[in-house]
Chain A
């Protein structure tokens, strides 16, 4: 069957694919997005798996999404609404808790309840973190320069970064490098003394990683979870009203209103390359669709090893793709509840159930959870990030009922002997038992539970290894090393072939930045005007 000829085909309707597509369409290109599933969104999705309940069954909160993209694509008019969520709490085994209240005076008093010194140290901590935040945030909507290149553009970009870097004082430069290379436990120890507070602030640093709280490099990951903002409130997270699927829906709506074509249930089998020039794609049903350029929203491993033929790739790249680190480490439980579970440790009326809830009260417990993962087991005593979005969002559960999202760290890509449904359920039970330790009526409220291990995430969403960041966020896979050295500027090895997923700089999280950055590079190659947004800047 003959298909029309497109300027660009985007493989995968994840949030980055849609962002990329929307900007290309905005620049006047004729764009087709192909999605293998019957629903769009990739890992940015809301699914009604129990009638009346809508799970954000992969990504579940939103803050890194670039406001520049939100504005440039007019996502508010396309139905996106991000409601800030409030606070967080870590329950401790002795019946106490630490509440990071959303109101700053109350939060300060709560820190002081555990340690007066830490309440004051938090001021120094926040100011320092903000310094690193400013530096990194400025790099999100930019293409990383190539250290191997002698092109003026790369030299200019290096000079720009150096200039940014040099706005720091000498001592701050060293502190920044240290922050970038230290473990979260060591970094926090330079500020805080209280075990519960240390555990509470560490959690964000291991989410999605194959690292533990004592692993160098985790301090930086904290930033990935702290540099987002909702309307300028840096570090605060938000819910997308209607679940994360609303992000994808708004992007798709923007894309279609700009003239783009979206086709679901269309699985790409192969990216066609002829003599080093990309010609289009072939679908699994045999259809061939031609396009000037093809953009893959898939992770780097899948893109090069599944969609491309070895003959079209340099041998080094194949080796890189094979050794690309993309081990999943997280699981997810999505739970439909008959009512709001009680957490008796909290005083009546406490606002702390509105935020993130955690049950890991020491660094040792967090690290031991990691040890299990290293040995290919799910954590016996996992770190969870538990949220009940239905407390704010009336659209995700029936009135009076609740929806709970439980992110679980750690869960192996494959336990010894592989995943079975029994093992998956056993993993789920570990998590449910942990929650029930702090919420006695929790188990009675369960209506439906979806348990997702890296196995389910890979099979449904197509993230290799179930890695939520499309590739681990370690120094060897950041910036100009992401996904591979020499391929960090969104261009693939064949002319007209591009990558726009989180495998690329600046990496994972529902940010949209890789999609926008890739669009900028594509438009540059096609000599089209750049319609991607510039960073708002911080001054």
Chain B
């Protein structure tokens, strides 16, 4: 038996992130949450200030807890193409693609982004722990899969001024970096990989570096604010992230729907079609896990759908059931919801049962809310939309806007 690593510190539930020292300074609320074994702020200061940092200035978030896997070897490309539902053979080095992967039954296990870092070298970023599934999927492929979550520090810099902030911090060449592009830069002698990726529906970048240099890069960015006073930059927490990701129409596996590897009850998991991610499913590419099930499913009327819902009024439908009319038949439930400050609307993602493959013609949310601790009931009519609730032209403009 090979001796294992040295004992863990059983007095702590979390491992410190490489940015932990700075997060401590910025999270003045000390309102923490757990994310994949790391401590991450739920709210650093106030949700409103963090939300508007993302929407109108520049926000910073520690992305290190996101699960990261390095995939290399002669079969790396084929392996990934057998893993995910979309065709990634055309993903060129220096490009990123969003993808989902399914189990044999065509049910979604997780989503994430595939970074083609250099010829034949990939990084897969995932929402949840995927090493078991990735290794299990590697039978018969000549690939090496290494978990590098702890070995790569990641920082999201997102918002309208993110380009300006990073440029001011000395990062060159972002003016030509297109959405879903990757570039390697040198920041004060520190090698950093920058991708134009994000979760806000707006301009934004993600920076990838050796954990050893994490605090240096953090300081270089924040010096743009603190030393030079050029732009406002703020640390954001999960609550603000939740608002903008709903606005931008991103789904969260494990929150908006049950992931296939954790689902216990039959039919409590979801297929890409049911999540509105049919556009990610390629039924023509060579075989991949779940393809046969998805081909069969595609030929049948869909059973359920995760829909985007805009509600009348100003009540947020937290945990609401959805009905086909006011007081009518229950057709589903709200899985995620937010008040959108920028749209001045209540937004929701709802999981609903379809009728003969169709969304019911009307949808109503039964909303319970409190005023001074007194519970009240409100019925709000919802409108289904296929597009993200919010998307800004800044998101894709190249060269990016400076504000």
Contact = CB atoms under 8 A, between A and B. Distances in A.
Interface of A: 92-96, 99, 101, 103, 105-106, 108-110, 113-114, 116-121, 123-124, 127, 130-131, 134, 167-169, 171-172, 191, 195-196, 347, 349-352, 361-362, 539
A130 B264 contact: yes
Given A106-B12, A117-B135, A130-B264, 20 more contacts: A94-B1, A95-B3, A103-B13, A105-B13, A106-B13, A109-B8, A110-B8, A114-B4, A119-B131, A121-B132, A123-B132, A123-B261, A124-B132, A124-B261, A169-B266, A171-B105, A172-B266, A347-B7, A349-B11, A352-B10
Interface in B130-172: 130-133, 135, 147
Q: Which 9 pairs from chain A and chain B are nearest by CB?
A: A120-B132, A105-B13, A121-B132, A120-B131, A120-B129, A130-B264, A114-B4, A109-B8, A127-B262
B295 interface: no
A120 B14 CA distance: 17
A103 B34 CA distance: 13
B91 interface: no
Contacts of B14: 105
Interface residues of B, number: 31
A294 B3 CA distance: 59
A212 to B, nearest CB: 20
Contact of A350 (B4, B10, B34): B10
Given A347-B7, A351-B10, A109 B15 contact: yes
A105 B8 contact: no
Contacts of A94: 1, 3
A126 to B, nearest CB: 8
B353 to A, nearest CB: 17
A127 B10 contact: no
Q: Is the interface of A mostly helix, strand, loop or mixed?
A: helix
User: Which of B1, B34, B104 counts the most A-chain CB atoms under 10 A from its CB?
Assistant: B1
A191 B104 CA distance: 17
Nearest to B129: A120
17 contacts: A94-B1, A95-B3, A96-B4, A110-B8, A117-B131, A117-B132, A120-B131, A120-B133, A123-B132, A134-B265, A167-B266, A169-B267, A171-B105, A191-B132, A347-B7, A347-B10, A362-B1
B269 to A, nearest CB: 10
B5 interface: yes
B263 A127 contact: yes
A103 B12 CA distance: 10
B323 to A, nearest CB: 21
B37 interface: yes
Contacts of B104: 171
Interface in B5-36: 5, 7-8, 10-15, 34
A106 B8 contact: yes
Nearest to A128: B264
A350 to B, nearest CB: 6
B317 to A, nearest CB: 23
B4 A113 contact: yes
A113 B263 CA distance: 26
Given A124-B261, A169-B266, A171-B105, A108 B37 contact: yes
Contacts of B7: 113, 347
Nearest to B260: A127
Nearest to A92: B1
A108 B8 CA distance: 11
A474 to B, nearest CB: 27
Given A117-B132, A169-B266, A101 B10 contact: yes
Contacts of B34: 105
A171 B107 CA distance: 13
B264 to A, nearest CB: 5
Contacts of A106: 8, 10, 12-13
Contacts of B263: 127
Contacts of A113: 4-5, 7-8
A195 B1 contact: yes
Nearest to A103: B13
Contacts of B266: 167-169, 172
Contacts of A167: 265-266
A169 B135 CA distance: 24
Contact of B130 (A120, A196, A362): A120
Contacts of B10: 99, 101, 106, 110, 347, 350-352
Nearest to B7: A347
Contacts of A118: 132
B8 A127 contact: no
